[in-house]
């Protein structure tokens, strides 16, 4: 599996975990984020450092189960990813895939904004 495919799968996994409130276990998000950070650090390109910093910010918001903060982080990640893809033009399609990932991150940000804005549902038991 390529890194791009892993990122796509990770976005879906993260969003599913966020939608479930991480079931009070943020490790579902940490694993995905930590894998991205490790990979991007191993590439060691200065253009990727802001993405790593934003991933660390996202990790903090996941720890706090802060959907609004996660939304902002996803938006920033999408924009940073798009910027980093501007200079990638090759026949392997990496730039196109990065731009696609950017769009998915921004879409996830929009979905998270809706989750963050939704009223909290409180369950009541009926005796």
**Model pLDDT for residues 60-113, shown as the tens digit of each residue:** 988 887 888 989 999 999 999 888 877 765 556 677 788 888 888 898 888 888
Burial class of residue 14 in the structure, from the number of CB atoms within 10 Å of its CB (0-12 exposed, 13-18 middle, 19+ buried): buried
For the stretch 10-60, pLDDT in tens is 777 776 666 655 555 667 678 888 888 898 889 888 888 899 999 999 999
- What is the value of pTM for the model shown? 0.75
- The domain tally of the chain equals 1
Do the domain assignments include residue 126? no
Do the domain assignments include residue 43? yes
Cα–Cα distance for residue pair 124/25, rounded to 1 Å: 23
Do the domain assignments include residue 127? no
Do the domain assignments include residue 18? yes
Do the domain assignments include residue 25? yes
Do the domain assignments include residue 34? yes
Do the domain assignments include residue 124? no
Phi, psi of 119 (to 5 degrees): -65, 145
Q: Residue 83 belongs to what domain range?
A: 3-117
């Amino acid at each position: 599996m390529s890194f791009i495919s892993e990122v796509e799968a990770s976005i879906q996994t993260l969003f599913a975990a966020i939608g479930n409130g991480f079931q009070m276990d943020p490790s579902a998000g940490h694993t995905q984020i930590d894998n991205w950070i490790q990979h991007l650090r191993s590439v060691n390109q200065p253009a990727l450092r802001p993405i790593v910093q934003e991933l660390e910010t996202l990790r903090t918001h996941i720890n706090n189960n802060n959907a609004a903060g996660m939304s902002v982080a996803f938006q920033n990640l999408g924009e940073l990813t798009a910027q980093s893809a501007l200079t990638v033009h090759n026949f392997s399609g990496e730039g196109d895939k990065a731009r696609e990932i950017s769009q998915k991150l921004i879409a996830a940000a929009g979905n998270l904004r809706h989750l963050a804005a939704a009223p909290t549902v409180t369950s009541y038991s009926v005796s």
